[in-house]
Structure formats: structure tokens, C-alpha cells
Amino acid sequence: MRHPAVEFATLRCIGQTDVDLSMQGKSALKSLAEEACRLLPDQILSSDLKRCRLLAERIADRLRIKPVFDPIWREIDFGLWENRTWDAIRREEAHAFSEWVADFVRTPAPGGESFWQLQKRTLAAISRIDPTNSTVLVVTHAGVIRAAHSAFADRPLSRAFDYNIPYGGMLNVEIDFSEKRRRLSGGRPLRRRREKVPIHGRQRLRGTAAWTAALQAFPLRKC
């Protein structure tokens, strides 16, 4: 589930900077929590950054379960670019910025991580989900969701930003594994057989609701 709206999201480079929700984001917490609770998750996992914590706590309170916060679900790390304006980055670090734009999949921001590294981290996080829970709600960030979507939809990471993730959508990903062991190798998409991943047919984007990745998790382990 993508967190609610934050201030200056399009003006500043905000990855792992711990920004607060905007007034719009705070006012949406109640309706987002109500919608998320309809999924009846067995467990709530969340990024430990405030913009995700606030929503995860609101959902967990309604369901009377304890959320699990983990930095592995954080947004991409923009390193030395964090919390700077995009205009300043373009102006002051034109060469580094142009290299990143040309190949953000393999090129990280200075001191940060590339999108390939983000996907590797995201798949590692998914592999740690307890398979005894039938429905797991993950409250996270747009970059993490795009990285996961690219893997499960078998799309190249270079096209990750083609997938629109507004504050307010919902996506259910159901994974039915016929084998007990799967390989997660180098951040590449999961190699799989006889799986059902009905991403597009189950997509629901609703008004002001936050983008939700509800992972119905089965055994995902590193070999």
C-alpha cells in the first residue's frame, strides 16, 4: 500500500528522507484505513518511515493487530540528493544527473542505490514474508511497488515508471506456488512454473485511496 500524500513530492528528491504527510494525506488516513481493513489482512508490514507508519498504525488499530516496521520496505535511497530540489540537482550536478536519467536502473544517485538494487532489496523483503499468513498488507512506497510490479509482471525495470502509481490505488497480487522453493537471483524476476499472477485483472484504482500492494504470500525462499 502506498502511503498518503506528502508535501512538495514533485519538487524535492524524497527517497528515504523522513517527511511528514501533507494536510491532504493526513485527512485521507481514515478513509484509507477503512478501505485497507476490508482486505482483512493477517499481518501488516510497513516501512519504518513516518509517512507509512501513520497509515500502518491506523489500519492495525482498527484490526487490533500489531504492525511490523522494517527499513527493508523503505523507498529508494537517493544518497546525497536526498531532500534537495530537483532543480538544484540538475543545475549543480548536471553530469551525474544526466547519467542517472540515462540509466537509472544501474546508475545510483551519489551515495545512494540504483533501481536494480532497490528491486533486489524488494524481492528479498518479499522472500521474508511468513507464508503461514494468507493475506499480508504491505504499506510502502512508490519505488518499492514499481520494483515489485516489474518483477511479477515480467517487465523490464527500465519501463518501471510507465506504471502509474497515484496516491490512492489498490493492487492485489496473488501468488500460487506449486513448488516449495523459489530462487531469487540478482534482483531478477522470480523464476516460476504453474503460478497465477493476475495483476492487471485485479487492479483497482480508487479515487483518493493510497496505492495498495496486498501480497497473498506463499513460500518464497532463497535457495
Domain with residue 185: its CATH number is: 3.40.50.1240
pTM: 0.79
Q: Report yes or no on 96 lying in a domain.
A: no
Task: Copy the grid coordinates of residue 187.
Answer: 534482483
194 torsion bin: left (phi>0), alpha (psi -120 to 50), beta (else): left
| pLDDT over 70 at 121, yes or no | yes
Most confident of 80-84, 172-176, 185-189, 213-217: 80-84
**Domain containing residue 202:** 23-73+117-216
Q: Report yes or no on 133 lying in a domain.
A: yes
Band (175; pLDDT cuts 50, 70, 90): low
**Number of structural domains, the chain?**
1
- The pLDDT tens digits for 45-92 are 999 999 999 999 999 999 999 999 999 999 999 999 999 999 999 999
Q: Report yes or no on 15 lying in a domain.
A: no
pLDDT of residue 163: 86
Q: Report yes or no on 166 lying in a domain.
A: yes
Q: Report yes or no on 110 lying in a domain.
A: no
pLDDT of residue 209: 26
Q: Report yes or no on 82 lying in a domain.
A: no
> Of 215 and 84, which is predicted with more confidence?
84
Q: Report yes or no on 5 lying in a domain.
A: no
> Of 192 and 134, which is predicted with more confidence?
134
Q: Report yes or no on 139 lying in a domain.
A: yes
